[in-house]
Amino acid sequence: MQKFTFTKTPRLVFGAGGIKKVSNIVSQFGKTVLIITDGVTLDATGRWDEIVRIFNHASIAFYHTLLQGEPTPDFVDATTDRFREKDIDVVLSIGGGSVLDAGKAVSAMLTQEVSVTEFMEGIGDKTHDGQKLPFIATPTTSGTGSEATKNAVLRRMGADGFKKSIRHDNFVPDIALIDPELMISCPAHITAACGMDAFSHLLESYLSPRANPMTDALAYSGLSVLKDNLVSACTSGASNVDVRAGMAYAAYLSGITLANAGLGVIHGFASVIGGFFDIPHGVVCGTLLCSSTKKNVVALKERDPDGVGLEKYAKLDALFTGKQYQKEQKQILADNFVEKIYEWTDLLNMPRFSVYGVTGTDIDKIVKKTKNRDNPIELTTQEIREIFMERM
């Protein structure tokens, strides 16, 4: 068996109604909590009032701040400056992946006296010492897997924009509190984008050259649940808590697998595009899933037909169709898997980049900066260009 390492994971509290335990969980760390939300999701469902009642009943003091859009270094700096002297015991994020990343970064920077940019990969030149405040991640969407990862992704928009991480093994949330009831109100288009994001995480980590037996097992488990729940969560099963629980489980596993096996060219695109355009991360990954999978399969058939990558694509088709895997038919099965992803892309109405104002003049700068990362096969610049062009 191959040698490998595996990063730590949060203590997991999973199940419907789990939010009712939030005061008990917070009280393990102290009596003052900083809560970060998006100011929309919880208010629309009345959940925010419920959380306030829970904390008041438990005599837990709380501060509350709102994140609008994706987290930026400016947001993290302003928040930490505002609350650094407030004797915060624990940070709690309740929201989508952006809110979780914001909370992760804030918990890491409340112990520091400098800008978060000083510790960002490819931006600053300092190494974070890993000291942070305890952090609890409570997702309201099923996609990013941020509730299980050690990095917080921050964005700055513009011509010199970037989407970079602050990262440390200690930044893994202390507790992931996952309540699928919080996800029932998530709109269909957001559920679709987040679900396709989780799909891309599981798929790319499963196919990564850095995959190992544990990541393979977890990714396969996540995909086996996702295949039965993604479309349903966006359509007739949107209010079904079991469907939402299935997607929450898949998303959580996707965070664990991406943290340990890495991601491929889809996320090579995403880190570049996110710095140039105001496009949701899930949309970027979801819309590129079909064209990147097709290009990978074609390249594998041409340049590595006997490798593990093509075999894994074929095994996934067997998983998604319920048919038995037959090695002699792996090229056909891999092609069938590609067709399934195109079917889902159309069914879930994944938008093209032109909808967000991307034009032909933007292609060169995007392709130039996009990297293969941990892709199952090294794609050429022309192949990367063709992936992007197909989704314009």
Give the model's pLDDT for residue 40: 85
Give the model's pLDDT for residue 142: 97
| 51 domain residue, yes or no | yes
Distance CA 341, CA 319 (A): 13
Terminal-to-terminal C-alpha distance of the chain: 43
Give the model's pLDDT for residue 58: 97
**Alpha helices per DSSP H over 208-348:** 213-234, 241-261, 265-276, 281-303, 308-321, 330-347
Give the model's pLDDT for residue 170: 97
How many C-beta neighbours within 10 Å does residue 26 have?
Answer: 26
Which CATH number belongs to the domain containing residue 109 in this structure?
Answer: 3.40.50.1970
Q: What is the pLDDT of residues 193-205, one digit of tens each?
A: 999 999 999 999 9
**What H or E segment, with its residue span, contains residue 97?**
helix 97-109
| 1 domain residue, yes or no | no
| 3 domain residue, yes or no | no
| pLDDT class of 45 with cuts at 50, 70, 90 | confident
Give the model's pLDDT for residue 41: 84
Distance CA 82, CA 80 (A): 5
- Count how many domains the chain has: 2
Give the model's pLDDT for residue 84: 96
| 89 domain residue, yes or no | yes
Token pair in block for residue 30: 């102290």
Q: What is the pLDDT of residues 267-325, one digit of tens each?
A: 999 999 998 999 999 999 999 999 999 999 999 999 999 999 999 999 999 999 998 89
CB 126 within 8 A of CB 167: no
Q: What is the pTM of this model?
A: 0.96
Q: What is the mean pLDDT of residues 53-62?
A: 97
Task: Tell me: do 246 and 328 sit in the same domain.
Answer: yes
Distance CA 282, CA 311 (A): 27
| 285 domain residue, yes or no | yes
Distance CA 206, CA 341 (A): 16
Task: Tell me: do 84 and 137 sit in the same domain.
Answer: yes
For residues 172, 110, 119, 105, the Cα torsion angle rounded to the nearest 10 degrees is 40
Across 67-71, 77-81, 196-200, least confident range: 67-71
Q: What is the pLDDT of residues 151-179, one digit of tens each?
A: 999 999 877 888 899 999 999 999 999 99
Helices 308-321/188-207 angle, 10° precision: 140
| 4 domain residue, yes or no | no
Q: What is the mean pLDDT of residues 375-380?
A: 98
Beta bridge partners of 33: 62, 90
| 60 domain residue, yes or no | yes
- For the chain, give the longest Cα–Cα distance: 65
Task: Tell me: do 361 and 240 sit in the same domain.
Answer: yes
In which domain, by residue range, is 110 found? 11-183
Question: Is the pLDDT score of 349 beyond 90?
Answer: yes
- Considering 183, 217, 233, which residue would you say is the last residue of a domain? 183
- Considering 122, 157, 183, which residue would you say is the last residue of a domain? 183
- How many degrees, rounded to 5, is the angle at CA 282 between CA 274 and CA 163? 25
Which CATH number belongs to the domain containing residue 312 in this structure?
Answer: 1.20.1090.10
Q: What is the mean pLDDT of residues 337-357?
A: 97
What is the pLDDT of the chain when averaged over all its residues?
Answer: 96
| pLDDT class of 353 with cuts at 50, 70, 90 | very high
**What H or E segment, with its residue span, contains residue 82?**
helix 73-83
The amino acid at residue 338 is V
State whether residue 5 is helix, strand or coil. coil
CB 179 within 8 A of CB 15: yes
CB 263 within 8 A of CB 150: no
